[in-house]
Amino acid sequence: MVTDYKALKNGGFMRQVQKDLFSLRLKVVGGNLTTDQVRVIAQVADRYGSGHVHLTSRQGLEIPFIALKDVETVKGELAAGGVDAGVCGPRVRTVTACQGSGVCPSGCVDTLALAQGISDRYFGRVLPHKFKFGVTGCQNNCLKAEENDMGIKGGYLIEWLSEPCLFCGICAKACREGAIRVGEDDLALDRSKCNHCGRCVKSCPADAWKAQSGYLLSFGGTFGNRIAKGEEIFGIVTDLETIYRASDAALDFFERHGQPGERFRATIERAGWDGLKKALIDRGLGDQAPNGQATGAQALGE
């Protein structure tokens, strides 16, 4: 029997140490599965696996010890239960996300909706090498946005309202960047220090901080054989359409300039950060100036 391991891998079957046994990777978006899906997965793991599942490092789920002869049956039973196979190899991988503003009090954006949108748009798209997206809801960065080839981090664009302000100083205490100074009856905000964490907004007892949700985008993160932090090239963006224009530009750039087996970071460094920056500017990045804040290109870390 000739086994097309590449085809199996494309379908999420990871070859195991044990001959003719595979660990089946499942499709998960933002770390969420319904209980119906979990039940189907449990049944399949009992029937065709070894009665356990593995939680992967990126919110994925795998069913190990699936025999080669059962591969098609297993896929069929999972699909009938609303569970799709995941992907491996040189393509857009599982889109990860924290729970975001729908669940977490710290969240500034709806991470799960965005992760779903990104996954619907790109999941499985073939590229020179793997490509990972991660979405985190705030500066706490539980999801580690900058580990990803493209990371998205939620934040707030803030504006102080003098009328409702109690001048209690709680926001100044909540701010970890030292961007706010509160006097007896005045308040000063140093925007150059603001990192959009939104702690002032969340802590204010008088709703004296107005917030608009925004997204900080990072590019070129990788955390495997080589470790490099994704770089923010532009300032905070405030609409989903701009995110998708940026991700379209990043993937197109990788497709055009990447060599087979080369991670996005290596492509950017070989083709030049300026090239990626230009590709992003060509799609309209850096044009926005929400709340009068400059979002022009920032100095790139070398």
Partner 1 sequence: MAAKKDLPEPEAGVDVTDVVCPMTFVKAKVALDGLEPGQVLSIRLSDGEPIRNVPRSLKDDGHRVLGLTDNGDGTYDLLVRKGED
Q: Which of 203, 212, 291, 293 binds partner 1 (CB under 8 A)?
A: 203
**Total of chain residues touching partner 1, rule CB under 8 A:** 21
For 201, residues 6+ apart whose C-beta sits below 8 A from its C-beta are: 156, 158, 209, 210, 211
Instruction: With CA atoms as reference, report the closest residue to 267 among 283, 282, 246, 253.
Output: 253
Q: Are strands 150-160 and 209-219 parallel, antiparallel or unpaired?
A: antiparallel
Q: By CB under 8 A, which span of 27-35, 148-156, 195-203, 230-238 interacts with partner 1?
A: 195-203
102 binds partner 1 (CB under 8 A): no
CA atoms within 13 A on the CB side of 156: 18
Mapped onto helix, strand or coil, the DSSP state of residue 188 is: strand
Rounded Cα distance between 205 and 202, Å, is 8
205 binds partner 1 (CB under 8 A): yes
Closer by beta carbon to partner 1, 156 or else 219:
156
Q: Which of 4, 163, 192, 302 binds partner 1 (CB under 8 A)?
A: 163
Which run of H or of E encompasses 256? helix 240-257
10 binds partner 1 (CB under 8 A): no
* Closest CB 104 distance from partner 1, rounded Å: 11
Q: Are 152 and 117 in contact (CB under 8 A)?
A: no
* Closest CB 209 distance from partner 1, rounded Å: 12
How many residues are recorded in the chain?
Answer: 302
Q: By CB under 8 A, which span of 84-92, 159-167, 213-221, 264-272 interacts with partner 1?
A: 159-167
Span between the terminal Cα atoms of the chain, in Å = 51
* Closest CB 127 distance from partner 1, rounded Å: 42
188 binds partner 1 (CB under 8 A): no
3-state helix, strand, coil in the chain (%, to 5): 35, 20, 45
Rounded Cα distance between 219 and 233, Å, is 8
Closer by beta carbon to partner 1, 55 or else 103:
103
* Closest CB 154 distance from partner 1, rounded Å: 17
Q: Which of 3, 18, 32, 162 binds partner 1 (CB under 8 A)?
A: 162
Closer by beta carbon to partner 1, 125 or else 173:
173
165 binds partner 1 (CB under 8 A): yes
The sign of the dihedral angle between the CA atoms of 248, 120, 54, 143 is positive
Buried (b) or exposed (e) across 247-260, using 16+ Cβ within 10 A?
Answer: bebbbebbeebbee
178 binds partner 1 (CB under 8 A): no
168 binds partner 1 (CB under 8 A): yes
The letter for the amino acid at 141 is N
181 binds partner 1 (CB under 8 A): no
For 189, residues 6+ apart whose C-beta sits below 8 A from its C-beta are: 158, 160, 179, 180
183 binds partner 1 (CB under 8 A): no
Q: Which of 19, 35, 178, 184 binds partner 1 (CB under 8 A)?
A: 184
202 binds partner 1 (CB under 8 A): yes
Closer by beta carbon to partner 1, 95 or else 175:
175
Residues of the shown chain interacting with partner 1 in the complex, contacts defined by CB under 8 A: 105, 162-170, 173-174, 176, 184-185, 199, 202-206
